[in-house]
Amino acid sequence: ELKVEQNPLFLSMQEGKNYTIYCNYSTTSDRLYWYRQDPGKSLESLFVLLSNGAVKQEGRLMASLDTKARLSTLHITAAVHDLSATYFCAVGRNRDDKIIFGKGTRLHILP
Amino acid sequence: KAGVTQTPRYLIKTRGQQVTLSCSPISGHRSVSWYQQTPGQGLQFLFEYFSETQRNKGNFPGRFSGRQFSNSRSEMNVSTLELGDSALYLCASSLGLAEYNEQFFGPGTRLTVL
């Protein structure tokens, strides 16, 4: 059974600091997603990683994938308050659209 | 291009009632997936429909059912509502092709069961 574990689940950090969210998954997967969710809102797609060694960056966020270790990371550089949200990683397989989500990391960035 | 729409956005029901939620995918998308989000269980996959056929199903009781119409719009039905069914229900649509295709999420329907 495909399982996804994220850590930490809660993160409070100061503006300007760097931090990393980790996502481990249990079995082979074809794609790895990172989503952002603001309170009361839907999911916003941040990154989709499809192959080993893939790295994608958007602004202060950078995601990477190591399929051999079944590990993805979301790195936050010089955090700003606007990045406060819950971040989910999720994995899926090409044969269908079923996505298995991690529990999410609630990120709170203090001014 | 219009995004994924869900109706209604908010719904209040009482235990034992049934409810139907609707999802209209992005034009041209043939796959619709449904997810339940609760504080305790997080985001859980309910089922996926592709070309009017259920292609995948999560671990939910039979009270949860769905269907998809020829225009790809999908409905989800929950019968005999329980307090624990209170959740945000999200649907997502995609092209549904064999290789990777991006899923787009709708705004969700917030269901409260009293």
Is the pLDDT confidence value at B98 over 80?
A: no
What is chain A's pLDDT, residue by residue, as a tens digit (111 residues)?
Answer: 789 999 999 999 999 999 999 999 998 888 899 999 999 889 999 999 988 889 999 999 999 999 999 999 999 999 999 999 999 999 988 777 788 999 999 999 998
Higher per-residue pLDDT: B23 or A52: B23
Dist CA A63 CA A49 (whole Å): 8
Q: Tell me, what amino acid is at A13?
A: M
Confidence band for B6, pLDDT divided at 50, 70 and 90:
very high
Sheet architecture: strand order including A55-58: A4-7, A19-25, A71-76, A61-66, A55-58
CB contact under 8 A, A99 and B103: yes
Distance of residue A30 Cα from the nearest chain B Cα, in angstroms: 8
Is the pLDDT confidence value at B100 over 70?
A: no
Dist CA B74 CA B13 (whole Å): 21
Q: What integer pLDDT is reported at residue A19 of this predicted model?
A: 94
The SS3 of residue B83 is helix
Q: What integer pLDDT is reported at residue B72 of this predicted model?
A: 96
Q: From B34, which residue of chain A is nearest by alpha-carbon distance?
A: A98
